[in-house]
């Protein structure tokens, strides 16, 4: 039986989650990368009475589908600002599923520059710094931290090393 393994790839906007997540998933025979941005786009309208934070539960449901089908790795790349966000995901997957959390991190100036340079997207403006600051305060509770202000291949290798020798599972 294939081990049930999910990786929550965390980090502020522009840090490289999508690129690193896709590369991680490509490096195993059967890998999936779920984009948090894509999940958020499912909701096209919402009144104030509808719940927020549904992307965590939706990602967990998709993770279950792929793990049930025998995929060996599911990467969910998203912004987890607080440990409660991570807990919400963990509570939504089956017992016995290994969930590892890796936070990609870079200096604020690097993150802001990358976010501003992303093509075809609305700018997040001050939200980037707000998110980065909140995450910085909570880094101790957001899994293993991997420095992401260097070449993508180097970051991917460091994430893989971290996953083999996790501080947080």
**Mean pLDDT for all residues in the chain:** 89
pLDDT score, position 64: 95
When pLDDT is averaged across residues 58-85 and rounded to a whole number, the result is 94
Between residues 36 and 76, the one the model is more confident about: 76
When pLDDT is averaged across residues 138-159 and rounded to a whole number, the result is 95
- Domain assignment present for residue 169? The answer is no
- Domain assignment present for residue 56? The answer is yes
- Domain assignment present for residue 77? The answer is yes
For the chain, how many structural domains are there in total?
1
Write the CATH number for 35: 3.40.50.300
- Domain assignment present for residue 116? The answer is yes
In tens, the pLDDT along 98-127 reads: 999 999 999 998 888 877 777 666 666 678
Banded pLDDT at 169 (limits 50, 70, 90): very low
Distance of CA 67 to the CA centre of its chain: 17
- Domain assignment present for residue 16? The answer is yes
- Domain assignment present for residue 118? The answer is yes
Banded pLDDT at 165 (limits 50, 70, 90): confident
Residue 51's domain comprises 5-164
pLDDT score, position 74: 97
pLDDT score, position 14: 84
């Amino acid at each position: 039986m294939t081990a049930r393994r999910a990786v929550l790839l965390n980090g502020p906007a522009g840090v490289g989650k999508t690129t690193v997540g896709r590369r991680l998933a490509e490096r195993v025979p059967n890998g999936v990368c779920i984009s948090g941005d894509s999940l958020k786009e499912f909701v096209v309208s919402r009144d104030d009475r509808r719940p927020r934070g549904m992307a965590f539960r939706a990602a967990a449901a998709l993770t279950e589908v792929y793990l049930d089908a025998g995929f060996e790795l599911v990467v969910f790349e998203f912004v987890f600002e607080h440990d409660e966000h991570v807990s919400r995901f963990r509570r939504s997957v089956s017992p016995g599923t290994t969930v590892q959390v890796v936070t990609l991190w870079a200096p604020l100036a690097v993150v802001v520059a990358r976010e501003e340079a992303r093509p075809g997207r609305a700018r997040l403006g001050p939200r980037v710094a707000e998110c980065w600051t909140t995450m910085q305060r909570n880094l101790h509770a957001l899994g293993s931290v991997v420095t992401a202000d260097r070449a993508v291949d180097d970051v991917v290798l460091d994430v893989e090393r971290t996953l083999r020798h996790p501080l947080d599972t």
